[in-house]
Structure 1
Amino acid sequence: MRTVQIPAIAPRRTSEPEPDLTSMYVIHRAMLTDLRRLIKVLGGPARLRGSRDRAVRRYAGSILTEVHHHHANEDDLLWPIIARTAGHAVDLAPYTDDHEALAPVLDRCTTALGGDQRALGQALAALLDLLDDHIAEEESALLPIVARYVPYDAYVWAERQIARRASFGQLMFTAPWLVRHATAEEAARLLAGAGAPLRVLVALSRRGYARREREAFGAEGRA
């Protein structure tokens, strides 16, 4: 990922609009939901074979990429913005420590993509345990501080930087994946703030994502 220069940012004034954190809540939900779905299908009584096995591993690889990029973007973009606007109100060290603890677990999951199915399921379960606690703490303690101190425009800037850091191939998964896990109201907000190019990308990639989801989880695998 390329390095991004963080601009000077003043704390949000109470008269200014709060940042729209919809994308944060949706990506949290999407990561946890799909990890649970993957663990369930990998832990089933019958071994996955052939194209189903390949589809599940490919989908798992995409989710691991999403988890990695999400936390790298927090470290590189969101945490510095929070430090500049709300440094006096929050200690980011526990969240950074969580990210450091996630790194070796992500590495084990990536290695397990090429190995035994049960071992992959167990590695993903360990990742889910860490993410469950980390996300719960973020949403209960940190995101309210973001809403209070980070200006709306600064958060929009961070979201645009995140989109620019992603490859086209990653966006072809990420864009429809987020819409898939959003409520109708959340999806409308995400698309309204995405800009025309990303809205076109969602339209172009939805069918391909739906096929990948079907191949991995089957008709019964919808969350």
Structure 2
Amino acid sequence: MSTPTLARPTGKTVKTAIGAAAEMKTIHSAFRRELRLAPALLRSVEHGDRLRAGIVATHLDVLDRFLHHHHTIEDDLLWPKLLERVPVEIAPVVELMEAQHETVADLLTRTVEQRAAWRQDADAERAEHLAAVYTRLHDALVEHLDAEEEHVMPLVEQCITKKEWTKIGKAAQRGTPVKDAPRMLGMLAYDGDPDVMREMLGAVPAPMRSTVLKVGRRAYAKHANRVYGTPTP
């Protein structure tokens, strides 16, 4: 089979010194970490402790909404452009990404339904069932994220313009409630590369980026301490 030729768009692409791939890995790292910790977090709640269940359920609700929004943006703004611009030989990779999104979406539907019931009674058996769903969600998502980073992000850096990537980033920001924004930023910055984080804050004046990151890190540390019992989960 011949090596496919990418349909390059008009304008500069996002293959910069840092690049879209590094930004996406930062977002993915947060999802991997938080979902890996979710099952044990659920099992740590004592049977009948509705106050603690409410804290954990709220954390998982924010995480689930963040993941759903992230995938919705890709479905609406990223995959269609890639399918237009990559040749037939590569299109099935994008189609695989969409199929994996559907699997994750189905599991998210289950977490929402089961979490609502568990929040009400903090039943240990419900928690165990919900933890099992989060384990499946984590495994399915990691498989998807690994494939996306390996096969899709190189295409993004060659086929998506800087303007289009900025539009995707702004859509992500608009979908984040103001009250959640600092802790979500801190969640990304927790183990994110500082240079990548500053690049992701491109809309913020350069002198203010370090301050914004500090605020985000403090917000996440406070949130993590409430949820995990430590600012460094």
- TM-score band by shorter chain is 0.7 to 0.9
- Give the aligned partner of residue 61 of structure 1: 61
Structure 1 residue ranges without an equivalent (≥5): 1-9
Aligned length: 212
Structure 1 residue 122: Cα displacement? 1.2
Amino acid corresponding to residue 11 of structure 1 in structure 2: R
- 1:167-206 aligned at under 5 Å gives the runs 167-191=177-201, 193-196=202-205, 199=209, 204-206=215-217
Please give the per-residue CA displacement for 1:173-220, whole angstroms capped at 9, x wherever unaligned: 4222212231233323323x242499576555543332221111112x
Structure 1 residue 69: Cα displacement? 0.6
Please give the per-residue CA displacement for 1:81-110, whole angstroms capped at 9, x wherever unaligned: 222332544322111111112222101111
Greater mean alpha carbon deviation, residues 163-172 or residues 68-77:
163-172
- Give the aligned partner of residue 163 of structure 1: 173
The CA distance in 2 between the partners of 1:106 and 1:31, in whole Å, is: 13
Structure 1 residue 132: Cα displacement? 1.2
Whether the 8 Å contact between 2:14 and 2:156 is mirrored in structure 1 is no
Amino acid corresponding to residue 63 of structure 2 in structure 1: I
Structure 1 residue 144: Cα displacement? 1.2
- 1:18-29 aligned at under 5 Å gives the runs 18=15, 20-21=19-20, 22-29=22-29
2:116 is equivalent to residue 103 of structure 1: no
- Give the aligned partner of residue 215 of structure 1: 226
The CA distance in 1 between the partners of 2:178 and 2:39, in whole Å, is: 28
Structure 1 residue 53: Cα displacement? 2.8
Match of 1:132 among 126, 142, 146: 142
* Partner SS, residue 63 of structure 1: helix
Q: Percent identity?
A: 22
Amino acid corresponding to residue 195 of structure 1 in structure 2: V
TM-score when normalising by structure 1: 0.80
Greater mean alpha carbon deviation, residues 97-106 or residues 199-208:
199-208
* Partner SS, residue 91 of structure 2: coil
Amino acid corresponding to residue 110 of structure 1 in structure 2: V
Structure 1 residue 42: Cα displacement? 2.2
* Partner SS, residue 190 of structure 2: helix
The change in CA–CA distance for 1:153 and 1:45 in structure 2 (over 3 A counts) is closer
The CA distance in 2 between the partners of 1:48 and 1:164, in whole Å, is: 37
* Partner SS, residue 185 of structure 2: helix
Please give the per-residue CA displacement for 1:57-77, whole angstroms capped at 9, x wherever unaligned: 111111111111111111011
- Give the aligned partner of residue 3 of structure 2: none
Structure 1 residue 128: Cα displacement? 0.7
* Partner SS, residue 179 of structure 2: helix
TM-score when normalising by structure 2: 0.77
* Partner SS, residue 167 of structure 1: coil
Whether the 8 Å contact between 1:62 and 1:173 is mirrored in structure 2 is no
The CA distance in 2 between the partners of 1:119 and 1:16, in whole Å, is: 45
Structure 1 residue 11: Cα displacement? 2.0
The CA distance in 1 between the partners of 2:100 and 2:162, in whole Å, is: 26
Greater mean alpha carbon deviation, residues 150-159 or residues 98-107:
150-159
